Amino acid sequence: MSMPKNISIIGVPMDLGQIRRGVDMGPSAVRYAGLSEQVEELGYKVNDKGNIPVERPASSLQGEGLTNLQAIIQASTHLAAVFSEIKQAGDFPLVLGGDHSVSIGSVAAAGMHDENLGLIWYDAHPDLNTEETSPSGNIHGMPLAVSLGIGNQQLTSIGQKLPKVKPENIVIVGARSIDEGEKECIKKHGIKTFTMHDIDRLGMTRVMEKTIEYLKNKTSNVHLSFDLDSIDPQDAPGVGTPVLGGISYRESHLAFEMLSEADIITSADIVEVNPILDQKNQTAHVAVELITSLFGKKLLYSPSPEDKKIMGVEYGN
């Protein structure tokens, strides 16, 4: 399926999935960095639908053992409804977070529109924890598990369909901080995972070739969940949970350019931009620059089909 030419932006100003404040300002920071203007320059029609309301509870633990559970359920349910409306209209939903718990709603909605959804989890963390395995009880470390139908039933039932995505249709890229319970989950469910060790050994070109090959023939729609902490803190310092030794700025451009050429991404979320920890909105600008690469921005020009063959890129149109 080709990427739609109409893009609808949804902001989710939510920092409830963890205890560090600031990522609720992520949508504003990314907008301020010129997201709409730069995407429109590429020939897309952009409709910014504003932010969904996020209520901050008086108590973070609401008798469930998970931080801000009920508030996250409410926000995720609202996001899933708006995301679903955008999909039904034939537009590309682009979600701005917020912490990574926002993807509970976006992946739930994407899964409702495709029984065989593909998912690229571009993140330093697999986010496969549950209440039993999480060291913190923070829900931003659980959204991929929730999307697989694993964990708290109130979270997994958002969007009704279970699972939202099949484990064999997931590729994790850039993981470098993996809890023991997450390692067991990856092994048990056979989730395709490219750690930083794999990126170092194979190079980003081969990792993305393998990712595209793995997903393109088995799925018709692919959601990209892009956590800015996948990028090395030198290039993206303003994130919720920074981890040293990440993907470089240039490697990420290459990855997103290859995804653009493959033309498989049909929805996305951008999460964990924290302006409080940033330097002159650097991380938000990185997010915008990478997303415009995903939408087709090139250093010189868009390659023709003949150029793609010469370069060995045969995944696109």
Please identify which residue in the block is written with the tokens 């989730």.
191
Q: Judge whether 312 lies within some domain.
A: no
Please identify which residue in the block is written with the tokens 């493959």.
262
Assign 284 to helix, strand or coil: helix
Q: Tell me, letter by letter, the H, E, C secondary structure of 192-250.
A: EEEEHHHHHHHCHHHHHHHHHHHHHCCCCCEEEEEEHHHECCCCCCCECCCCCCCECHH
Q: Judge whether 136 lies within some domain.
A: yes
Q: What is the pTM of this model?
A: 0.92
Task: Mark whether 24 is an active-site residue.
Answer: no
Catalytic residue among 24, 99, 272, 278: 272
* 125 annotated among ligand-binding-site residues: yes
What is the per-residue pLDDT across 55-83, written as a single tens digit (0 to 9) for each?
887 665 544 578 899 999 999 999 999 99
Q: Judge whether 200 lies within some domain.
A: yes
Q: Would the pLDDT of 312 be above 60?
A: no
* 48 annotated among ligand-binding-site residues: no
Task: Mark whether 91 is an active-site residue.
Answer: no
Domain that holds residue 147: 6-305
Q: Judge whether 314 lies within some domain.
A: no
Task: Mark whether 113 is an active-site residue.
Answer: no
Q: Judge whether 220 lies within some domain.
A: yes
Task: Mark whether 223 is an active-site residue.
Answer: no
* 114 annotated among ligand-binding-site residues: no
* Average pLDDT across the chain, whole number: 92
Q: What is the total count of domains within the chain?
A: 1
Structure confidence at residue 224 as a pLDDT band (50, 70, 90): very high
Q: Judge whether 315 lies within some domain.
A: no
Structure confidence at residue 85 as a pLDDT band (50, 70, 90): very high
Q: Which residues pair with 10 in a beta bridge?
A: 95
For residues 156-167, average pLDDT = 92
Catalytic residue among 15, 24, 114, 140: 140
pLDDT computed for residue 301 by the predictor: 57
Which burial class, exposed, middle or buried, applies to 44 when counting CB atoms under 10 A from its CB (0-12, 13-18, 19+)?
Answer: buried
Structure confidence at residue 316 as a pLDDT band (50, 70, 90): very low
Q: Judge whether 198 lies within some domain.
A: yes
Task: Mark whether 123 is an active-site residue.
Answer: yes
Assign 93 to helix, strand or coil: strand
Task: Mark whether 257 is an active-site residue.
Answer: no
Task: Mark whether 253 is an active-site residue.
Answer: no
* 91 annotated among ligand-binding-site residues: no
For residues 2-10, average pLDDT = 89
Percent pLDDT > 70 in the chain is 91
Q: Would the pLDDT of 304 be above 60?
A: no
What is the per-residue pLDDT across 180-208, written as a single tens digit (0 to 9) for each?
999 999 999 999 999 999 999 999 999 99
Catalytic residue among 99, 179, 229, 251: 229
* 123 annotated among ligand-binding-site residues: yes
CATH no. for residue 211?
A: 3.40.800.10
Q: Judge whether 254 lies within some domain.
A: yes
* 127 annotated among ligand-binding-site residues: yes
